[in-house]
Structure 1
Amino acid sequence: MSSAVQTSRTTKIKHQKLTCTIGAELFDVDLGDVARDDALFAELHSLLLQHKVLFLRDQDISRAEHVALARRFGSLEDHPVAGSDPDNPGLVRIYKDLDSPAEHYENAFHCDATWRENPPMGCVLRSVEGPEVGGDTIWVNMAEAYAKLPGHIKSQIEGLRARHSIEASFGAALPMEQRHELKERFPDAEHPVVRTHPETGEKILFVNAFATHFVNYHTPENVRFGSDYAPGASNLLNYLISQAAVPEYQVRWRWTKNSVAIWDNRSTQHYAVQDYWPAVRKMERAGIIGDRPF
């Protein structure tokens, strides 16, 4: 596909690829209409699977329309730390200002909520207010990250599983009692290091900032002596997590008011750049409940 705005054989929605590996911008479509139209939604869903993150500008939709669009993908989830809009359950308000709690960090490459047994399938995020410049978000194609791994690394991580923790991430900034209570509510989840996309069949590198350690690395094949365990496992995990920082796998989006990003949380990671202080950045996100990774 060329860089020109095109309509593909499978969709009537005009779109333009933003990089060679991830992301497309959509044109001349209103997400309120998509929320109400089965055919339009089917086209949007197909484009999402193809490009992994979709972008639109000038989407002056209501919160109810925002939630209705996200619910076309599935049921919505709440966030145990950020909370939801009281009138629109499942719509999380991510408002950054001078009084923002420190635990609401976003500037790390991550998939949303992999500390859940069933992490989100995807998200719909809209910019309500933002700085004149700064506050971009980066998305990463983690299927491409897996595909480009060296063969010996693919062999080494086949069958490995990793632990993902809310206590060690959002909980780290809380007092000890609250941190322990958070872990009681959301025990660490265990996921495959390489997951299979349930709709496309792609293999995806599935470790991120929420991953703390491998749970089945300490085997005779990987460890000669007990002293090998910690450095061998941590070095490999850090190497895998670092793949999200490769520019060739990324797309970077500059937000404007009422711009929207829709992403597949199963096959991507993202990073919200916090370079805009003391400006205000207000975003609203609807996260869609997903399946258990396999």
Structure 2
Amino acid sequence: MTTWQAIILAIVEGLTEFLPVSSTGHMIIASSLMGINELPITKVFEVNIQFGAILSVVVLYWRRFIQGLDFYKKLLLAFIPAVVFGFALGDIIDAMLESVVITAVMLVLGGIVLLFVDKWFRNADKDWVNYKNALIIGLFQCIAMIPGVSRSAASIIGGMTQGVNRKAAAEFSFFLAVPTMLAAAGYKFVTDLLGLEISDLITFDLVKIENSFAAIQSEEITLLLIGNFVAFIVAMLAIKFFISFLTKYGFKLFGYYRIALGVLILTLLALGVDLTV
């Protein structure tokens, strides 16, 4: 992976992570088009640059993160389903992440849903999330383990099914992204980049941990630092745009975009175009 390829992927991550268009799907497509989707560093990079996106949420909403224990209890409750399903279905999820077809199909199906979300939940007007709402949002978020679904879209729609308005549901989705993406990025960093098992950290096998860090190439660290910085800046801009746009116009435009992109990819695949080159 070159520096420019890393920057392109980081821009894609920052732009799409908090929009209801599937950041995972876009990065799978982007890495496939650049011919780097099979590289081991790519899989680690795509997950770990989420640290930058996470930081953008914390910086923009820092006041919310010092509100008190109740805020964190709701986040924990919403986060638990992702932990359970993530560990239970890890191999299946990894297999789906390899498929551009699944990504394209889910982009289309998710886009169709977004065309009608505003109409279905036009009476959603709560500007707060209670414990029951938090748990249901967390369950909806698990649907996004299928590439192309969009974690943002799934969790926001989950909130709206509970009567939470678009703005409040979107902001809770941002907050929930922090523990969810932190866990995913941290797990991939430990297992894929360091080559460690979680048990190595639990038992604190210091020799093995030190050797793993020593084996990391400086080029990999440089790419990750650049990627996280770019993702942080772009994600901050994307969040500000999304909240403003969503409040005024709703989801329909995102739905049309998803459908168009998904259909384009499926058409190219049907014509025999190799999207991995």
Q: TM-score, normalised by structure 2?
A: 0.26
Q: Point out the structure with max Rg over C-alpha.
A: 1
Q: Which has the higher helix share?
A: 2
More strand by share: 1
